[in-house]
Amino acid sequence: MIEKNIIELSGVEKRYGSFAAASGINLDLKEGEFFSLLGPSGCGKTTVLRMIAGFQDPTQGTVTIDGRNMEGVPANNRPTNMVFQSYAIFPHLNVGNNVAYGLRGRAPKAEIENRVAEALEMVELGGLQLRGANELSGGQRQRVALARALIMRPKVLLLDEPLSALDKKLREQMQFEMRNLQQSLGITFVMVTHDQYEAMTMSDRIGVMFNGRLAQVDTPASLYARPCDEEVASFIGEMNILPASVAGESDNALSVNVAAFGNMQIDRNPNVTNPGKGIIIGIRPEQLEIKSEKPEDYPATVQGKVINVAFYGENIHYHVTVDGHDKPIAVSVPNYFHTVDFNRGDTVWLGLQAASAIDLGRGK
């Protein structure tokens, strides 16, 4: 099956005087995918979303949607609709009138009523047309905003931090509901978020942005397992960063000496574009084993001392100081009824499998 590009950004830039809010953006989005723009506040992700929507014009470059160049095409004539961070629910209108707002004057009354009912069913608010906007919970307001966007039957739904106003439990619930909705509708969702776990949970692919530029575009699994550099590695989950030197190399592997852990052979990272003799290695906290005795089944081990313990419910996090590395090493252990239980001051051993060490290139 040939995948069709629904959105194409080519050399897109947005400048305000000498400041580049977005620069060198080249991005193809597939029809029917859930794509997230992820990055810290001020990185340019919302600027990119607003250029796709037509609320801002690029300083240079082209935005193409469904095969059509969007230069000069206003937002209300694009095959997109947007759900804003604030939801922008009209407090003086009931649910039905909020959802129908964009269709006023564009369709007969009977058709509008049918499409309102259809849109509310999509978001599991069927039958609530007459409920007042001020009677809605946070989750219901978010669903109304979705229904109001979906009633226009866009080819692309744009979402600007759509879950940021919700509490943690409701936010997690809505992540799965929105993902299921997107898959059932089969239309393209493009979401802006600064929450890496939200992006990882919901997306087919993620574009990570820093300082107005796309650093890496990949699947959640590839971003987590093979980030292209230290900046992406540290933003996507937690990562221990250790310096290393390269003693030998082949097409697919590197023989390295890693600070504290010593010599090992690791896989090359195909996403790294800045290899070198002096490199850095990334190790996820959950990839380390922590034991009271030296583990015999690990090729790389190091002894250290626990300086901090944090209980997270499903996981226990330890920070361990070791000789040969100036920063504590983070270790995350599943909470299997405290089968692993250390305290501050305990001497422990850390074990590392070579396959868990990630080549991150030269660093910055």
Domains in the chain: ranges and CATH: 5-225 (3.40.50.300), 230-359 (2.40.50.100)
Rounded CA-CA distance 228/97 in Å is: 47
Q: pTM (2 decimals)?
A: 0.91
Q: How many whole angstroms from its chain centre is CA 96?
A: 33
Average pLDDT estimate for 314-338:
89
Residue with tokens 């947005």: 14
What are the C-alpha distances in Å from 186 to residues 200, 211, 316, 344?
Answer: 19, 32, 39, 51
Averaging pLDDT over each range in 233-237, 249-253, 310-314, 332-336, which range is the top one?
233-237
Angle at 268 (CA atoms; ends 264, 315), nearest 5 degrees: 70
pLDDT tens digits along 140-158: 888 898 899 999 999 999 9
Q: Please count the residues of the chain.
A: 364
Tens of pLDDT, residues 41-97: 999 999 999 999 999 999 999 999 999 999 999 999 999 999 988 778 888 899 999
**Site of tokens 């010593």:** 262
How does the average pLDDT of the chain come out, rounded?
91
**In the structure, what pLDDT confidence band is assigned to residue 337 with cuts at 50, 70 and 90?**
low
